[in-house]
Amino acid sequence: MIKLIKNHAWECVKNARLQNRPQTRDFLEELVEDFFEVKGDRCLGDDEAIVTGVGRINGTVFTIIGQQKGHTLEDRKACNFGMPSPAGYKKSMRAIGQAEKFGRPILCLVDTPGAACGFDAEEKGQGTVIAQHLSFIAKVKTPVISVVIGEGGSGGALALAISDRLMVMQNTYFSVISPEGCASILFKDSTKAETAAASLKLTPTDLHGLGIADFIVDEADNYSINNMKHSVSIIKDQIEKYLGELNFSDKNELVQKRYDKMLNLKGFN
């Protein structure tokens, strides 16, 4: 059963960016029990923009990997506004490797305006690390379920969205480029972001129509940190359902199905 909700593109973008919108750490409180955080990539450092750890959802132990933007200015700075660095993606790969080792399913929470760019990120090989992450998460021999809980910004978001099942929340977007970036490059006018947002087909409804999203998660009116139980319970139910569907005794079959699913998203017939 998939629910369709009509939404305007620009509203989705604005709502996805709201500062009081629940983020990964809020979901860890509401959705996950007994969360044990693991930190650091054992090479470059620890990146606050990606939170990884182990915890229970519906009684099952999951590896959880989520992007964190931060609510207060101080938090946001510490999290680099949710733009993960190579260290973040390396930490995520470490978590993915352990999930496979211990046979735990993985839950990814996507919420980033994009991967970090700048001198440090480039010097540490941001492109290389994202490429490795894409390849690595695609072939992990354990179920991967992803939820876009806020912004789905380009390749930095895609790294955590390669999954067996992808849910998107009602007021989110997932796009190849920010509407502002698209407007300034293609329309030579960054104020045309609203038009660009509509053209990019980035809303949950669009993503579902394109076959990218499997499910749209309903949000309560005034969805916020204090009002997220409704959505959390829907996500919990979906996770339970998906784990049943993804329970293959042969893990190679699981990977094969994931490969087929991703390879079939080609845009034409």
Partner 1 sequence: MELFNKQIEINKKKPKRNIETLTCECGKEMLTALVHANHSTCIYCGFLFKIPAYRRIEMIADLGSFTETDKSLLSTDPLHFPEYKKKLMIAKKVSSLKEAIICGTCEIEGLKTGIAVMDGNFMMGSMGEIVGEKICRLANQCMKEKRPIIIFCASGGARMQEGMISLLQMSRTSIALNKLADEGLLYISVLTNPTTGGVTASFAMQGDIILAEPKALIAFAGPRVIKQTVNDVLPDEFQTSEYLLKKGMIDAIVERKDLRVKLKQALSLHR
Residue whose C-alpha is closest to residue 146's, from 46, 228, 49, 24:
24
Q: CB nearer to partner 1: give 131 or 232.
A: 131
Q: Alpha helices of the chain — where are they, by DSSP H?
A: 9-16, 24-30, 73-78, 86-101, 119-123, 126-138, 154-158, 179-186, 193-199, 204-209, 229-245, 251-263
Length, in residues, of the chain: 269
Chain residues that interact with partner 1, rule: CB under 8 A: 115, 117-119, 121-123, 125-128, 130-132, 134-135, 138-139, 154-155, 158, 162, 174-177, 182, 185-186, 199-202, 206-207, 210, 212, 259, 262-263, 265-268
CB of 28 to partner 1, least distance (A): 26
CB of 179 to partner 1, least distance (A): 10
CB of 161 to partner 1, least distance (A): 8
CB of 196 to partner 1, least distance (A): 9
Measured in degrees and rounded to the nearest 5, phi and psi for residue 75 equal -60, -45
Q: CB nearer to partner 1: give 175 or 231.
A: 175
Q: What is the C-alpha separation between 53 and 33, in angstroms, rounded? A: 11
Q: CB nearer to partner 1: give 158 or 169.
A: 158
Q: CB nearer to partner 1: give 30 or 81.
A: 81
Q: What is the C-alpha separation between 234 and 247, in angstroms, rounded? A: 20
